[in-house]
Structure 1
């Protein structure tokens, strides 16, 4: 599914905003609204797992000797977008620790420039390419050319078809959606009247949405979806708030909102606060962007919970895959790595951005032999 169909300048500007922003319902589900009396014990159990501190992770078991004098190129979706910037900045940091040469090529959200960035990496005779939140459908032909020429490719963040890249670092989008469903189930006492604000352009969001819908059916039989809406990212700051205002007016009993990603939730907050439903609606989302965590921590917004991911951890996991690829010994078990995620509410905001709860950086540095 192609996630970029808009003019490059408009898309880049909106994407930059979208990824830069990455009685209350607590992490244990203190209701903010609702009034139902349904059994929410199953949802409480899931919520306990979702909000738990990360204490373990299946790091690679074997050290690896990092090959010397390698050139790696990182291609972010847009360096002006905070999430993509953090991805490639962490790649640069790890590459420096390895003594590798590093170059970032910024396509600024332009699909044509994304393809051109991969072709430039080929011309530079790069040893490896990191794709930071780049839609596979946009660059698939050029990535095939790169890999055919022996360049190793690690895909980050966005789901991709089997065989697209040499390795993938992701997280479990479907589980994240299910965790959102558990939170809303408890917050509404099992009587959620839910509005979904979905962006099906993004493969990751498609998985989030499906996990949420399926999770709601599983955990909250007393909940119902009163409106399931779609939008396109190019309209995030303009049409989406206006359309949502009309949706709220048409659904005055709504008490819960699921959004595609954090910037959507933040853009809808002023609409909710101006509405008669203010104080009666709980909003959940995902990304764990700093702006979202700050709003959640403040506790004065309808935005109550998000799914956090440590972007930097994901990048170091990607570099570990690249080290092993260039050393010729990436085991099948490490071809796809899902980094931890966590449902974050006002009760458990431990850092902004979320640091992952573990000392993953030191662990990876100790795995890489550089002398």
Structure 2
């Protein structure tokens, strides 16, 4: 999850979503392991995938403090124009209402300058805390400094690598955990390994600048390292990086170019679902979708359109969903713990892999865990 650099409407997403985009291509030096199908390694991968596909019924942590009354929260979001960021912002306002606090939403409109201005505006109202959505230290540094000077704690959703357990870095709380997004990237790669009977030849596409998306690439790379160590036959035929700001402009064409230049691939790995749809558009324009080959795509986020494609047996075969709304409630629960003088905790925000066999359980792209996380938080807050 790397530092968020954007101009104007380079919207993070959530990957959060949060959505992304393409600037261009470039092909990585192919990496490969030259062995054969390894039954022992494959059994481990199958066990991982089975676990990711299963219902995720773990509840949020219990034993937290009763709601500290009378708090006012400022929510500063990167933009309300992007679906993922708006989903999280709406979930934060719902969580604030559920715990009995009040909130005000400030729209950064996709601009670092505007977001910093909105933070300054929020600080003048003296809120008890600020929650950021997809805004990190590189984009709202002045606002973070002003909040620190005013002794206002700042939580963040979608800037996962910027918190320190000891110093709390610029943030009092960050949800979800960084490791979760790494697991998403690894899980989708493992699924592709099984679908190719242990011989995936990947085209990969991801934004190398956004924090949560970089974590997904790290998870993919971890799998490739494990495959090589096991003597497996896994390779990256070509890597095409892109930028979030260009997902609807150049990514499709770049995908078509990469596919035509590297016809030996059998699996496409995309960092997140919205980008995946643009990649499929490019492959379709190049005459590769639909086709007679066994090529397919895997991605992550659990977006509704992608779930429909998976359920229908389309080019995308799997997505790894993350419970973003749960993460928003986790932000508020951790702030409540801070107000009560208690440490923040692991909030058990889940992920789940969906393919055609379980797509009917993905709640039309609104999956947020297989347990009633909201009821669990309400029980804790009411004491």
Q: State the match for 2:48 in structure 1.
A: 46
Secondary structure of the residue that 2:141 maps to in structure 1?
A: helix
Q: State the match for 1:175 in structure 2.
A: 183
* Residues 17 and 81 in structure 1, CA contact (< 8 A), matched pair in contact too: no
Secondary structure of the residue that 1:314 maps to in structure 2?
A: helix
* Residues 21 and 290 in structure 1, CA contact (< 8 A), matched pair in contact too: no
Counterpart of 1:317 (choices 302, 308, 330) is 330
* Residues 197 and 231 in structure 1, CA contact (< 8 A), matched pair in contact too: yes
* RMSD of Structure 2 on Structure 1 (CA): 2.4
Residue deviations 1:231-265 (CA, integer Å, cap 9, x gap): 11222122111111111111111110111211111
* Residues 16 and 81 in structure 1, CA contact (< 8 A), matched pair in contact too: no
CA distance in 1, matches of 2:45, 2:127: 48
Matched, 1:186 2:194: yes
Secondary structure of the residue that 2:139 maps to in structure 1?
A: helix
Deviation at 1:292, TM superposition (A): 2.0
Deviation at 1:364, TM superposition (A): 0.2
* Residues 14 and 134 in structure 2, CA contact (< 8 A), matched pair in contact too: no
Secondary structure of the residue that 2:79 maps to in structure 1?
A: coil
CA distance in 2, matches of 1:149, 1:242: 48
CA distance in 2, matches of 1:367, 1:150: 27
* Residues 195 and 256 in structure 1, CA contact (< 8 A), matched pair in contact too: yes
Question: Taking structure 1 as the reference length, what is the TM-score of the superposition?
Answer: 0.87
Secondary structure of the residue that 1:165 maps to in structure 2?
A: coil
* Residues 182 and 215 in structure 1, CA contact (< 8 A), matched pair in contact too: yes
Secondary structure of the residue that 2:107 maps to in structure 1?
A: coil
Residue deviations 1:32-79 (CA, integer Å, cap 9, x gap): xxxx855322211111111111122451323x2323222111112211
CA distance in 2, matches of 1:197, 1:354: 24
Counterpart of 2:370 (choices 353, 357, 362) is 357
Matched, 1:326 2:339: yes
Over 3 Å counting, the alpha-carbon distance change for 1:50 and 1:18 in structure 2 is closer
Question: Taking structure 2 as the reference length, what is the TM-score of the superposition?
Answer: 0.84
Deviation at 1:148, TM superposition (A): 3.2
CA distance in 2, matches of 1:251, 1:242: 14
Matched, 1:367 2:375: no
Q: State the match for 2:32 in structure 1.
A: none
Q: State the match for 1:126 in structure 2.
A: 127
Q: How many residues align?
A: 349
CA distance in 2, matches of 1:164, 1:15: 20
CA distance in 2, matches of 1:96, 1:326: 17
Structure 2 residue ranges without an equivalent (≥5): 21-35
Over 3 Å counting, the alpha-carbon distance change for 1:16 and 1:285 in structure 2 is closer
Matched, 1:282 2:296: yes
Counterpart of 2:234 (choices 199, 205, 223) is 223
Deviation at 1:330, TM superposition (A): 2.5
Deviation at 1:11, TM superposition (A): 2.7
Secondary structure of the residue that 2:10 maps to in structure 1?
A: helix
* Residues 38 and 191 in structure 1, CA contact (< 8 A), matched pair in contact too: no
Deviation at 1:275, TM superposition (A): 2.9
Deviation at 1:203, TM superposition (A): 1.1
